[in-house]
């Protein structure tokens, strides 16, 4: 016993994930946890480099490790620059995640507007009916 296409479409819509009570496509809600974890890792490495710089300067000043002042200053500047670059890479990762959320929200909003316009056009008769298949679900 085969179900009608409308019933199959309804079951597919019911199985879709929902945001705010509205079903959305799976590709619109893909996770970005990995990028956020990498951003946190970059920030952690940046803090570790700063801690190593402080220890290097401390040990250089207390003469635990013999080092000239110029070399110690150059190494401290190099570590601060690399720490800043790592922190910036972490910030770029977070920025990408936030912009990705905006892009997904725009994509969902555009799909909803297109669907509303299609339904209005079908109701007024200015568009022909697609038989319950939206342009997003055609393959």
Q: How far apart are the C-alpha atoms of 9 and 104, rounded to whole Å?
A: 23
Residue 86 near residue 50 (C-beta atoms within 8 A): no
pLDDT of residue 139: 45
Q: How far apart are the C-alpha atoms of 62 and 72, rounded to whole Å?
A: 12
Residue 57 near residue 76 (C-beta atoms within 8 A): yes
pTM of this structure: 0.56
Whether 55 shows a pLDDT value over 80: the answer reads yes
**Rounded mean pLDDT, 1-21:** 62
pLDDT of residue 112: 84
What percent of the chain has a predicted confidence (pLDDT) above 70? 69
Residue 49 CB: number of other CB atoms within 10 A? 20
**Rounded mean pLDDT, 13-23:** 63
Q: How far is CA 92 from CA 3, 29, 38, 69, 84, in A?
A: 49, 21, 11, 34, 12
Whether 20 shows a pLDDT value over 70: the answer reads no
Question: 52 or 112: which carries more pLDDT confidence?
Answer: 52
Task: Tell me the pLDDT band of 27, cut-offs 50, 70 and 90.
Answer: low
């Amino acid at each position: 016993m085969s179900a009608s296409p409308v019933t199959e479409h309804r079951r597919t819509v019911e199985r879709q994930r929902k945001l705010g009570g509205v079903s959305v496509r799976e590709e619109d809600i893909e996770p970005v946890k990995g990028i956020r974890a990498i951003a946190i890792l970059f920030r952690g490495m940046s803090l570790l480099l700063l801690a190593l710089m402080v220890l290097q300067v401390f040990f250089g000043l207390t003469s635990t490790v013999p080092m000239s002042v110029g070399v110690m200053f150059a190494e401290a500047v190099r570590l601060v620059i690399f720490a800043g670059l790592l922190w910036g890479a972490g910030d770029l990762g977070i920025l990408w995640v936030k912009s990705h959320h905006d892009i997904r929200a725009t994509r969902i909003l555009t799909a909803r507007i297109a669907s509303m316009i299609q339904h209005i056009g079908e109701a007024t008769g200015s568009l022909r009916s697609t038989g319950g298949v939206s342009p997003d679900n055609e393959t």
